[in-house]
Chains A and B, each alone.
Chain A
Amino acid sequence: MGQNAPLKIKEREFILVGLFLILTAAIASLFPNIASPNPNGIIDWISIPLVGFPILSSIVLLAFASQEKASRRTKLDSPVRLACLAFSLVPLGISTALFFDWLAVIDWTNIGYNSYVIKHQYVWIESIGVSWHVGMDGLSFPMVWLTSILVPITIVMTWDEKNGSAYHPLLLLMGGSLIGVFVALDLFMFYVFWELTLIPMFFLILKWGGDERRYAAQKFFIYTFTASVIMLLGLVTLYFLQPIGTGAHYGELTGRTFDMTLLIDSARSGNLDGGTWLGIDMQKAIFLMLMLGFLVKLPAVPFHTWLPDAHVQAPTGGSMLLAGVMLKMGAYGMMRLPVAMFPDALMYYQDLIMIIGLVSLVWGSIVCLGQTNLKRMVAYSSVSHMGIILLGIASMQPIGYAAALFMMFAHGLISPMLFAVCGAFKHHYHSMEIGSMRGMAKWSPFLAVYMMFGWMASLGLPLLAGFVAELMVLLAYWPTYGWWILLPAFVLVITAAFYLWSIQRTIFEGGDEGQPPESLHGETPPDISGHENVAMFLLALLIVLFGVMPFIALDMMNSWSNNLFEMVFAQQGGA
């Protein structure tokens, strides 16, 4: 077949897609009441448009492309990529429309504790009390929104990645499963999506990663899988310790349910009036098991070692989603489960969490100072920022929780920016060494501007999103830990130091005589290409937007954390 043969769709591709549709239909038919009228009068905007559609469409696209011969597969890159971008705009459109009340009138700032909007529940594995249960609240909606914003931006940013016919569907699959984690209101479903996110990321690192990708991908998978099976053990123990019920979503064989809302309810009633649900020892045990899973994912020192390896080896798009959303799964899980269910254990371990957060912050920053690899430096800065989230949680103040939530959101915009800059740097200069390029401002003014902007956003320049979060965490930290605040405040100075130092060495030093790195072999260094420019511009725009008007997302976060405190901590007599 000639190189210019027209793209033809073969029969077996039709058969393949047909088989897939039949399989999907068979699976759908296993959910008997999937078409049942819903009680709230709001259409289920979550199950199919936000979760099902990206996952299924990406699988179809992957199956489609994999049946092609390698020579023809490159022809598919561009249509598949376009399709992915178009498909990824669907969740973005839906979630944005939900925020602006175009699809349904929802008061995001007034949802109430343990109640969710667009809540839908379908029977799944009835015998053990598993249901497909989705819904959103002030905690999950910003994360869903963030994910749906990041996926199209990531696709645009890595528009010319090689083997695009597989790369971009994997990004789409990643997005769908991440949204699945955030909207799941059933522990079983939560765990399923939690693990599902590993698979596309594993392949992204393994196929498009750097030289050490094999080691990094396996380390990433095994590290997080180990942690999450221990988390699962905690979930199962929790499942059997809950009181036996007979409601609609309780398992016929076990008499228990995986429904998160019911579990949180029974936890709350057990914790009321100074009570301790399950007893303090059991609370502590389950709390630790759950936290282990979330801390590894976050990651916090000393469980962070998978992250630098994964980031340095991952392709740009993988890094962007990994840092942007996947790390937040850990923080999200903490807020959703252990914090809401085990306030007594949280109070017991409050100082421990604070210390872990502080160590992550300090350790991450100090290690950053010693890095010569740009991406590794950014990865460690992620560790240090995740430490700030832990500080917010340990502060046990409503504002601290809102701050942690906003940190998740802000870091979810800033860290993709940083990794986009790293990716562009690698793409155009074929090097990751900080000292290898001097005087970039002369050769690549756009990249230099974005780098400067990203670094400034990350170190917490006022009017950018990161500043709001950092300030709020420090505000919450003061009433709880007093003068200890000097430590995180000082570390933020270290952060500024390594960022400024790397900026100085990369962008400015050398002035007009700046030398392009040897890895270019004497070619003129190019500036970033158009699609990279678009993607980074959008990210920069969002960072400014949420820095100037944080209340867009912050209001619902505030309301969520106030509710949490009112219903969990205050009524319990603590805090």
Chain B
Amino acid sequence: MEIVTAFSDGFISSLTPELVLFAGLLLVILIPNLGNSTFRIPSTGIRVPWLLGGKRFALTSDPRLPGYLTCLILAASFILTMLSQASEASVTLIQSDSGMDLLKVDGFSRLFEMLFIGAILAAALASLDRLPTNKSEENDLDSLYNNRRQVDFYILLLTTALGMSIVALAQDLFILFIGLELASLSTYVLVAFQKESKAGSEAGVKYFIVGSVASAVGLYGLSLLYLWAGSLQFDELSAAWNAGAPALALVGLGMVLVGFGFKVSAVPFHFAAPDAYAGASSPVAGLLATASKAMGMLGLIRLLVVIAIPDGAEGSAVWLVTLAVLSAITMTWGNIAALGSDNPKRMLAYSSVAHAGYMLAALTAVGAWRWGHVAAPVGFAEAILGAIAFHLVVLVAFKMGAFLVLALLEMEGGASRLSSLAGLGRREPLLAVCMFIFMLSLAGVPPLAGFLSKFLLIAGIVKMSIGDLSTTVAQDGALSLGSLHWIWWFALLIFINSAISLFYYLRVVVVMFFDEAEDGRKQPLPKGFFIRVTIWGCAIATILFGIGGDALVRLCFAAVENLQL
């Protein structure tokens, strides 16, 4: 492992993707402001071109420019992250001058960065056609206004990416929180971006209030943890936890859980999510459902698995039961609420709640690690975490894809009722087939990516519940379901919930293929090259990762090994 002190040699080379994002952020702020303004050197007639302000150049006043630029920056950052991920030897720890761990670049953090940046790239690509980009007459206030809004939107996307990257890299709870807040504040504004519509502003306010309360509680929990351990470093907290956790630490942990629970939209912190998803534009909702949720999940992994797993051979983590109850309620509630919602975006939001429940159940299983007298090897926990990582990654493909199909419908004039999807099978067969694939994948029907990921989650849970019984399989009839750990029943619960979820996913399919289109919606949908390409990409990824997911599964499992449980 290479250790680098912040802002010294090797700092830039180890953090290139993030620095590209940061430089890009500055560029996106600067470039649309470039104009022909000049600066007259006082008391002379010499005018030096100053370039900032004045009348914009033809290129820089193009409202489409920030979008293209942002996509390029995100793509560059994505590729750099991927290259960094691929080079296995590069584990870099970035420390402060006093030797505190700040950031850690390894396969695990890079995998999550790829996820975040990939999801944001998809949202950015989809937004290229989404926001009004008509280049109208010169000095037209509208065009200026649109131009400004373009920039705002993409700046916020970039800050979200930057914040999420920091969350992925952080080795200190406080730094993690800074990244989380940077990303959260950006998403609050992104949710409220459709300020012309009532739903948009309401969603923004609701999301902001609930989110900031959750953050505040989390921050208070953080201070309690600091009070207890005297540090917020992961390794020091983990060591302190192993030495024994008093009530103070437990309360602190519970409060931090609230902050992350909001991010993954776990019950009972999920109430703002459906409103936020419904009010935000669809690409942003897709972002919340994939990247933002992955960020929360990452935080939970860091908090619960890296810090709060006891080292001793006896007993499981104390949070096991709490999380078990939460996950059971979350998945059931999400699915039942989704059954009754007529708004496809709300439906997807509730389905996102349900998916959070599945992943929480898997995390619960990690908590059951080393249960009873059986000391399960590290591989057991890694299998589950790898499955969670895989699930989060492929979720970007099909959940984002589903939201983008809705985004295309929004461009035409709204996707707030299930009937907006009616007749899509006739109007746009290819698009309808893509949506069909996304729905089946969300429900977990083979051979799509959603099936493989759910399968791996279940497999992880079952593996953990069986422990090492299979190596000592008794011939004497001693083995029964009762001799498995009780988390086995969570696998059953996930399956039952998958079956329930099929109702509402199939309803979308039925409406798409077998209902007559609404009046005035018989024509093909708006063109939108980029968004269509992104949807196709998502659909192809959903199929490919389902049929040939081997490479990605390995990648995720290898990444998880970096956690060094």
A interacts with B: yes
Interfacial residues, chain A to chain B (CB-CB below 8 A): 23, 26-27, 30-31, 66-67, 70, 124-128, 191-192, 195-196, 198-199, 202-203, 206-207, 214, 217-218, 221-222, 225-226, 229-230, 232-233, 236-237, 239-244, 253-254, 270, 275-282, 285
| Nearest CB of A to B536, in Å | 9
Asked if residues B503 and A222 are in contact (CB atoms below 8 Å), the reply is: yes
A191 to B446, CA, bound (A): 8
Asked if residues A233 and B466 are in contact (CB atoms below 8 Å), the reply is: no
Given the known A-B contacts A241-B473, A282-B481, are A27 and B466 also in contact in the complex, defined by CB atoms under 8 Å? no
A511 to B93, CA, bound (A): 94
Q: In the assembled complex, which residues on chain B have CB atoms less than 8 Å from the CB atom of A127?
A: 550, 553-554, 557
Asked if residues B499 and A225 are in contact (CB atoms below 8 Å), the reply is: yes
Query: Which of A27, A230, A240 counts the most chain B CB atoms within 10 A?
Result: A240
Asked if residues A128 and B459 are in contact (CB atoms below 8 Å), the reply is: yes
Q: In the assembled complex, which residues on chain B have CB atoms less than 8 Å from the CB atom of A203?
A: 513
Given the known A-B contacts A66-B429, A222-B502, are A282 and B479 also in contact in the complex, defined by CB atoms under 8 Å? yes
Q: In the assembled complex, which residues on chain A have CB atoms less than 8 Å from the CB atom of B477?
A: 276, 279-281
Query: Could you jot down 19 A-B contacts, CB within 8 Å?
Result: A23-B540, A23-B544, A26-B544, A27-B544, A125-B452, A198-B445, A218-B507, A225-B445, A226-B499, A229-B444, A229-B498, A232-B495, A236-B491, A239-B459, A239-B462, A253-B379, A279-B474, A280-B477, A285-B481
A207 to B544, CA, bound (A): 28
Out of A218, A226, A232, A285, name the residue touching B480 (CB < 8 Å).
Answer: A285
A425 to B42, CA, bound (A): 99
| Nearest CB of B to A160, in Å | 22
Out of A196, A233, A253, A282, name the residue touching B446 (CB < 8 Å).
Answer: A196
Contact of B149 with A by CB under 8 A? no
Q: Considering the complex, give the chain B residue whose CB is closest to the CB of A27.
A: B547
Asked if residues B513 and A206 are in contact (CB atoms below 8 Å), the reply is: yes
Out of B473, B474, B548, B553, name the residue touching A30 (CB < 8 Å).
Answer: B548
Contact of B57 with A by CB under 8 A? no
| Nearest CB of B to A256, in Å | 8
Out of B447, B456, B476, name the residue touching A279 (CB < 8 Å).
Answer: B476
Query: Which of A198, A206, A237 counts the most chain B CB atoms within 10 A?
Result: A237
Q: In the assembled complex, which residues on chain B have CB atoms less than 8 Å from the CB atom of A243?
A: 470-471, 473
Within 8 A of A (CB), among B441-465: 444-447, 451-452, 455-456, 458-459, 462-463
A192 to B549, CA, bound (A): 14
Given the known A-B contacts A195-B446, A285-B481, are A279 and B475 also in contact in the complex, defined by CB atoms under 8 Å? yes
Contact of B50 with A by CB under 8 A? no
Asked if residues B513 and A270 are in contact (CB atoms below 8 Å), the reply is: no
Asked if residues A229 and B479 are in contact (CB atoms below 8 Å), the reply is: no
Query: Which of B476, B492, B499 counts the most chain A CB atoms within 10 A?
Result: B499
Out of A67, A254, A281, name the residue touching B479 (CB < 8 Å).
Answer: A281
A253 to B430, CA, bound (A): 37
| Nearest CB of A to B268, in Å | 27
Asked if residues B553 and A128 are in contact (CB atoms below 8 Å), the reply is: yes
Asked if residues A206 and B510 are in contact (CB atoms below 8 Å), the reply is: yes
Q: In the assembled complex, which residues on chain A have CB atoms less than 8 Å from the CB atom of B554?
A: 127, 253
Asked if residues B480 and A221 are in contact (CB atoms below 8 Å), the reply is: no
Asked if residues B383 and A253 are in contact (CB atoms below 8 Å), the reply is: yes
Contact of B514 with A by CB under 8 A? yes
Asked if residues A222 and B492 are in contact (CB atoms below 8 Å), the reply is: no
Given the known A-B contacts A125-B549, A207-B514, A225-B502, are A233 and B495 also in contact in the complex, defined by CB atoms under 8 Å? yes
A511 to B552, CA, bound (A): 71
Q: In the assembled complex, which residues on chain B have CB atoms less than 8 Å from the CB atom of A221?
A: 502, 506
Q: In the assembled complex, which residues on chain A have CB atoms less than 8 Å from the CB atom of B550?
A: 30, 124-127
Asked if residues B458 and A236 are in contact (CB atoms below 8 Å), the reply is: yes
Q: In the assembled complex, which residues on chain B have CB atoms less than 8 Å from the CB atom of A206?
A: 510, 513-514
Top 5 A-B residue pairs of the complex, sorted by shortest distance between their CB atoms:
A281-B480, A30-B548, A279-B479, A226-B499, A66-B429
Asked if residues A241 and B510 are in contact (CB atoms below 8 Å), the reply is: no
Out of A214, A253, A270, name the residue touching B475 (CB < 8 Å).
Answer: A270
A222 to B550, CA, bound (A): 29
Query: Which of A127, A222, A244, A280 counts the most chain B CB atoms within 10 A?
Result: A127
Q: In the assembled complex, which residues on chain A have CB atoms less than 8 Å from the CB atom of B507?
A: 218
Within 8 A of A (CB), among B495-552: 495-496, 498-499, 502-503, 506-507, 510, 513-514, 540, 543-544, 547-550
- Chain B 479-490 interface 0/1 with A at a Cβ cutoff of 8 Å (1 = within): 111100000100
A199 to B505, CA, bound (A): 13
Contact of B247 with A by CB under 8 A? no
Q: In the assembled complex, which residues on chain A have CB atoms less than 8 Å from the CB atom of B495?
A: 229-230, 232-233
Asked if residues A244 and B471 are in contact (CB atoms below 8 Å), the reply is: yes
Given the known A-B contacts A195-B446, A222-B502, are A233 and B474 also in contact in the complex, defined by CB atoms under 8 Å? no
Asked if residues A275 and B481 are in contact (CB atoms below 8 Å), the reply is: no
Asked if residues B462 and A30 are in contact (CB atoms below 8 Å), the reply is: no
A31 to B459, CA, bound (A): 23
Q: In the assembled complex, which residues on chain B have CB atoms less than 8 Å from the CB atom of A241?
A: 466, 469-470, 473, 479
A285 to B491, CA, bound (A): 14
Asked if residues A70 and B426 are in contact (CB atoms below 8 Å), the reply is: yes
Q: In the assembled complex, which residues on chain B have CB atoms less than 8 Å from the CB atom of A229?
A: 444, 495-496, 498-499
Q: In the assembled complex, which residues on chain B have CB atoms less than 8 Å from the CB atom of A226?
A: 496, 499, 502
Q: In the assembled complex, which residues on chain B have CB atoms less than 8 Å from the CB atom of A196?
A: 446-447
Q: In the assembled complex, which residues on chain A have CB atoms less than 8 Å from the CB atom of B480?
A: 279, 281-282, 285
A253 to B551, CA, bound (A): 12
Contact of B478 with A by CB under 8 A? yes
Asked if residues A218 and B475 are in contact (CB atoms below 8 Å), the reply is: no
A199 to B383, CA, bound (A): 31
Q: In the assembled complex, which residues on chain A have CB atoms less than 8 Å from the CB atom of B459?
A: 128, 236, 239-240, 254
Q: In the assembled complex, which residues on chain A have CB atoms less than 8 Å from the CB atom of B498?
A: 229
Out of B451, B456, B470, name the residue touching A242 (CB < 8 Å).
Answer: B470
Within 8 A of A (CB), among B331-372: none
Out of B430, B502, B513, name the residue touching A207 (CB < 8 Å).
Answer: B513
A125 to B546, CA, bound (A): 10
Q: In the assembled complex, which residues on chain A have CB atoms less than 8 Å from the CB atom of B513?
A: 203, 206-207
Q: Considering the complex, give the chain B residue whose CB is closest to the CB of A203.
A: B513
A499 to B283, CA, bound (A): 60
A30 to B550, CA, bound (A): 9
| Nearest CB of B to A341, in Å | 14
Within 8 A of A (CB), among B191-222: none
Q: Considering the complex, give the chain B residue whose CB is closest to the CB of A127.
A: B553
Given contacts A126-B550, A233-B462, A279-B477, 10 further A-B contacts (CB under 8 A): A127-B554, A128-B553, A222-B502, A226-B496, A243-B470, A244-B470, A270-B473, A270-B475, A277-B475, A279-B478
Q: In the assembled complex, which residues on chain B have CB atoms less than 8 Å from the CB atom of A217?
A: 510
